[in-house]
């Protein structure tokens, strides 16, 4: 067996299941889950139609590169959304079967195991796939803590020049899971300068880019690169998903775009990895990227939930309206694991302890003392969950 499998950490939801199993919930309450970030709004009907109308495509093997129709729709979307100069659909974009697999696979493509030390930087707290990808690529992980003093920005200054010299890949997540923090142009300038100096690849996870308050669309990495004169997107690859934007987490559809030299190698890797997108999924995805109306309606539903829930949670826990994404990141007055366990036992509401999303680095786990609330359930359920959280927090 691959010994690196032993280096993997248990997934947060496995830990949550074990935590809840040790103190069963009061069955007098309907269960409400705010723990998993799975979109729950209905999939738009036109995507169902596009998928079924393309079922004849099941009779062909798809190419890893995907159809030109899909790549063209993605490039057109990138230009509409970010104002970037049109990307070349032949070399600067690739479809992926959900960003999860692609965020994993990119590390297998980029990491050079023959280096004396190969390191990957992850924000902390973070989406656990980054860490597993790094470990299975034979790399070590450096955890760069978010800094509440800097409005939850990632503290890259904590990494020493000697450490940077060994870094081959940096994962960024903007808008961030769990804080909703969006990287600024200044943040990108700093990271690009570090990449120029040390030669690492930046993997920018932007799967929450379309969940925001309509007045302020988050800055994207390709947009930032172009505004800073990096028109070839040197050492930058951006990952975007339909799962949250179009409420299709089961479709498994996203894309990667950016540096064509990296994408050529990624295409080679993916040809062997065998993760080409099914033709009906490609057809439905092209239609989804071409439509914005459903995305605007989707955002309106999240806005309604934040407006209803945030003030209630703020009456008992320190939290703020995030810049983007669909999470509230709230401080707990007691240990976050105990908070989540007692809340579940007393009121049958599942929230995720922040410490499960982080690792101890620089002497502490920056997720500790927080819980993540995913506002994915219908508004009435989110509201009911918030009322139960208020009752529980007042009883502590």
Ligand X SMILES: Cc1ncc(COP(=O)(O)O)c(C=O)c1O
Chain residues binding ligand X by CB under 6 A are: 37, 98-100, 127, 173, 177, 205, 207, 241, 243, 249, 254
Any alpha helices (H) in 111-259, and if so which ranges?
129-136, 161-164, 185-198, 221-227, 242-245
Residue 92 or 128: which CB sits closer to ligand X?
A: 128
For the CB of residue 207, give the shortest distance to ligand X in the complex, in Å: 4
For the CB of residue 263, give the shortest distance to ligand X in the complex, in Å: 18
Residue 177 or 298: which CB sits closer to ligand X?
A: 177
Write out the two tokens for 11: 């997934």
Write out the two tokens for 229: 């004169």
- Asked if 140 and 149 count as a contact pair (C-beta separation under 8 A), the reply is no
For the CB of residue 100, give the shortest distance to ligand X in the complex, in Å: 3
For the CB of residue 393, give the shortest distance to ligand X in the complex, in Å: 26
User: For residues 347 and 389, what is the distance between their CA atoms, to the nearest angstrom?
Assistant: 8
Residue 35 or 319: which CB sits closer to ligand X?
A: 35
What is the maximum span of the chain, computed from C-alpha positions, in angstroms?
60
Write out the two tokens for 240: 């975007």
Apex CA 122: angle with CA 14 and CA 185, to 5°? 130
For the CB of residue 177, give the shortest distance to ligand X in the complex, in Å: 4
Write out the two tokens for 25: 């919930």
User: For residues 79 and 72, what is the distance between their CA atoms, to the nearest angstrom?
Assistant: 11
User: For residues 137 and 198, what is the distance between their CA atoms, to the nearest angstrom?
Assistant: 20
Cα distances (Å, whole numbers) of residue 183 to 142, 177, 374: 19, 12, 21
Write out the two tokens for 134: 């790094």
Residue 105 or 283: which CB sits closer to ligand X?
A: 105
DSSP per-residue codes, 164-204: HTTEEEEEEESSPTTT-----HHHHHHHHHHHHHH-PEEEE
Residue 37 or 44: which CB sits closer to ligand X?
A: 37
- Asked if 173 and 123 count as a contact pair (C-beta separation under 8 A), the reply is yes
Is 9 in a helix, a strand, or coil?
A: coil
For the CB of residue 113, give the shortest distance to ligand X in the complex, in Å: 25
For the CB of residue 66, give the shortest distance to ligand X in the complex, in Å: 15
Residue 180 or 280: which CB sits closer to ligand X?
A: 180
For the CB of residue 127, give the shortest distance to ligand X in the complex, in Å: 4
Residue 249 or 354: which CB sits closer to ligand X?
A: 249
Residue 89 or 178: which CB sits closer to ligand X?
A: 178
């Amino acid at each position: 067996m691959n010994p690196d499998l032993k280096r993997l950490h248990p997934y947060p939801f496995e830990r949550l299941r074990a935590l809840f199993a040790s103190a069963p919930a009061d069955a007098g309450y309907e269960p409400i889950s705010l723990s998993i970030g799975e979109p729950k709004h209905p999939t738009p009907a036109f995507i169902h139609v596009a998928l079924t109308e393309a079922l004849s495509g099941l009779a062909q093997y798809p190419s890893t590169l995907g159809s030109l129709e899909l790549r063209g729709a993605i490039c057109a979307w990138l230009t509409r959304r970010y104002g970037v100069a049109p990307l070349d659909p032949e070399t600067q974009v690739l479809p992926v079967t959900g960003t999860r697999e692609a965020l994993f696979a990119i590390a297998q493509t980029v990491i050079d195991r023959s280096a004396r030390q190969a390191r990957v930087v992850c924000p902390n707290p973070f989406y656990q796939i980054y860490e597993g990808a790094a470990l299975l690529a034979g790399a070590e992980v450096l955890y760069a803590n978010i800094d509440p003093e800097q409005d939850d920005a990632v503290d890259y200054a904590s990494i020493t020049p000697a450490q940077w010299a060994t870094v081959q890949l940096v994962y960024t997540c903007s808008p961030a899971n769990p804080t909703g923090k969006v990287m600024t142009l200044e943040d990108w300038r700093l990271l690009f300068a570090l990449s120029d100096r040390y030669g690492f690849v930046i993997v920018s996870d932007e799967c929450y880019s379309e969940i925001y308050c309509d007045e302020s669309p988050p800055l994207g990495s390709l947009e930032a690169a172009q505004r800073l004169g990096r028109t070839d997107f040197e050492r930058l690859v951006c990952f975007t998903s339909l799962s949250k934007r179009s409420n299709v987490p089961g479709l498994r559809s996203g894309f990667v775009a950016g540096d064509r030299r990296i994408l050529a190698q990624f295409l080679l890797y993916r040809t062997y990895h065998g993760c080409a997108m099914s033709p009906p999924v490609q057809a439905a995805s092209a239609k989804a990227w071409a439509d914005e109306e459903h995305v605007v309606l989707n955002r309106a539903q999240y806005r309604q939930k934040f407006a209803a829930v945030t003030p209630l949670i703020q009456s008992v826990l320190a939290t703020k309206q995030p810049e983007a994404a669909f999470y509230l990141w709230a401080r707990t007055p007691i240990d976050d694991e105990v908070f989540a366990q007692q809340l579940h036992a007393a009121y049958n509401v599942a929230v995720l302890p922040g410490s499960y999303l982080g690792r101890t680095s620089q002497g502490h786990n920056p997720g500790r003392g927080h819980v993540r609330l995913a506002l994915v359930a219908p508004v009435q359920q989110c509201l009911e969950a918030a009322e139960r959280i208020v009752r529980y927090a007042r009883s502590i």
